[in-house]
A and B are shown apart, each in its own frame.
Chain A
């Protein structure tokens, strides 16, 4: 019987850039565990952390062409394919993560997902939360004026570049791996990311100030090819999709806990922490929303309306 079972095993490759041990790595392993469990071993997920199989955009390209790979990415990356999706990563869009998660359940999102499907890309783990992004710098930043001309490392991505331009900084795109050395050597003046990532890249060792700007709440997403999904038997496709959300929800708590722990560590290590009036930054970033030519007209307003409609539970 073991031979018969083995014939049925579908092996799937899961690729991401995060390091082993990070919340996202834990999520991937949880997903592998759940998928294997619920499919009685017919789904086998191989995980490849640290960009072992390649960078995000190369992997998305492979996924789109139906290769056997699922890639972790963010909505700002998917802008290259369906521009409007990028707004989900825009600065100061939502008050809380629940607003963003609600957006993924709307018809507006379903339409965009259809556009993705038409390009050959399928979305999984829509409930993945990557974290709230803050700013770490060498000199104190308490108002947007302090940011003028500061060289801030951002991901090599138009959304981040334009957002930090709007804030008055000089956005400097660099690979995450070059971050530490560039700060140490003064090539840049600061960096931004969720706190656990700033801790993982040891940014706190080469900066003195943490400004809790909360400039972006980042939801993330797993992407694969519709081709690969269609090749799976229907029940396995369902199990893969369901367990992706289950693993995403499982990780919410871990992400939140690690954010708190990171902040605690930074405090204990004597880093100066600035609680700032985020409203000032929100106002400063407003020109950003007019500077994204690829977006549909009125997109920002429409998304704000949608979030208003979210049924609030007490």
Chain B
């Protein structure tokens, strides 16, 4: 139970920490360059590495909440049975892309980059690219659990709602 609740939250935590670090590093670099005339040569590559982590782990956070931007206008015009079927089709495409593009190909990309390091600090790109399959695995976990739970907000048409209410996340 404890492990499960950790998996549920780990994407939010990683992405939030990455975002915080990016802000601190870039703001510090302005100070170091403008005030001390000593630019941090490594600030760009570190923040870009964290940006990759923020994005690809964050994708799982968005998946968990079913908030990826799409257009449901047309399928809402369809009869309920069709709507239901297409939502499962949508779920299947999400599973396919997540498994193949993020997890499988992301993993191949990662293990193939053993010679590539960042220019200033020499960070192994494996440590950067591992975020892609990892984010994929977390997203896949959420996709599978909504299917097991047969989560209504994923597969059923709710009465009257055009889109969910909390759109400030988009």
Q: Shortest beta-carbon distance, A42 to chain B, in Å?
A: 31
Contact, CB under 8 Å: A65 / B112: yes
Contact, CB under 8 Å: A170 / B37: yes
Check if B76 is an interface residue, CB within 8 A of chain A. no
- Give the interface size class of chain B: 10 to 19
In the complex, the chain A residue whose C-beta lies closest to that of B34 is: A187
- Residues in B26-60 with C-beta less than 8 Å from chain A: 33, 37-39, 41, 44-45
Instruction: For the complex, count residues of A whose C-beta is within 8 A of B.
Output: 17
In the complex, the chain B residue whose C-beta lies closest to that of A60 is: B116
Contact, CB under 8 Å: A173 / B113: no
Residues of A within 8 A of B37 (CB): 149, 151, 170
* Interface bits B91-111 vs A (CB < 8 Å: 1, else 0): 000000000000000000000
In the complex, the chain A residue whose C-beta lies closest to that of B39 is: A172
The CA of A274 and the CA of B96, in the complex, are separated in Å by 62
The CA of A61 and the CA of B45, in the complex, are separated in Å by 18
Q: Shortest beta-carbon distance, A120 to chain B, in Å?
A: 10
Contact, CB under 8 Å: B116 / A80: yes
Contact, CB under 8 Å: A151 / B39: yes
Among B38, B117, B119, residue most surrounded by chain A Cβ atoms (within 10 Å): B119
Contact, CB under 8 Å: A157 / B38: no
The CA of A158 and the CA of B112, in the complex, are separated in Å by 23
In the complex, the chain A residue whose C-beta lies closest to that of B38 is: A170
The CA of A293 and the CA of B45, in the complex, are separated in Å by 21
Q: A171-B41, A173-B41 known; A57 and B116 CB under 8 Å?
A: yes
Residues of B within 8 A of A57 (CB): 116
Q: Shortest beta-carbon distance, B115 to chain A, in Å?
A: 7
Give B contacts to A, CB under 8 Å: 33, 37-39, 41, 44-45, 112-113, 115-117, 119-120
User: What 10 A-B pairs come out closest when comparing CB atoms?
Assistant: A172-B39, A156-B119, A158-B119, A157-B119, A149-B37, A170-B39, A161-B41, A173-B41, A65-B112, A81-B115
